[in-house]
Amino acid sequence: MRYSLRQALESDIEPMMRIGHEGIRPYVEQLWGWDQADQERRFRGNFDVARIKIVIIDGQDVGYLDVENHDDHVFLSGIYLDRRYRRRGVGAEIIGDMLCSCRSLRKPLRLRVLCPNPAQHLYARLGFRQVEVTETHIYMEAVSGA
């Protein structure tokens, strides 16, 4: 399933918040409980249109990536897909493309995932290794092989 990316716009906040919250809510509930108003405030505060790319499949906006480029690494702050596109290889394809890009930049790709989130298994299959585990998060890194 081929995807494309476009730069986020302010008008993307509401639909992407729905997708993001739908994806993380079960894990946030397990760890801290869900406070809708707090989660909306956090989302709006962190939705940086300069950093976020919208994932498009068949002309539809189906999710987003939040990527931070640093001098010594690239940090995948988040990847969220509409539930209809999860477990269909889209996330693996996007992350695989990011890994190729990081390889050419000679930078590791880093991310963090909530401990209860099964996406950690996908990341491990894609070559990420755990570098730190806290009570709530698993920090992972895929070295570029440079």
CA 19 centroid distance within chain = 12
We report the CATH number of the domain holding residue 40 as 3.40.630.30
The one-letter amino acid code at 136 reads T
Token pair for 139? 């920090």
Residue 117 CB neighbours (<10 A): 20
The residue range of the domain holding 66 is: 4-142
Overall domain count for the chain: 1
Q: pLDDT tens for residues 10-64?
A: 999 999 999 999 999 999 999 999 999 999 999 999 999 999 999 999 999 999 9
The backbone torsions φ and ψ at residue 87, rounded to the nearest 5 degrees and listed phi first, read 60, 30
Indicate the pTM of the whole model: 0.91
Q: Which strands, in side-by-side order, build the sheet including 137-142? A: 4-7, 52-57, 60-69, 74-81, 109-114, 137-142, 129-133
- Kindly tell me if the per-residue pLDDT of 145 is higher than 60: no
CA–CA gap between residue 20 and residue 4 (Å, rounded): 18
Say whether 145 sits in a helix, a strand or coil.
coil
Residue 144's pLDDT is: 59
Average pLDDT score over the chain: 94
Reference 144, options 94, 92, 91, 108; nearest CA is 108
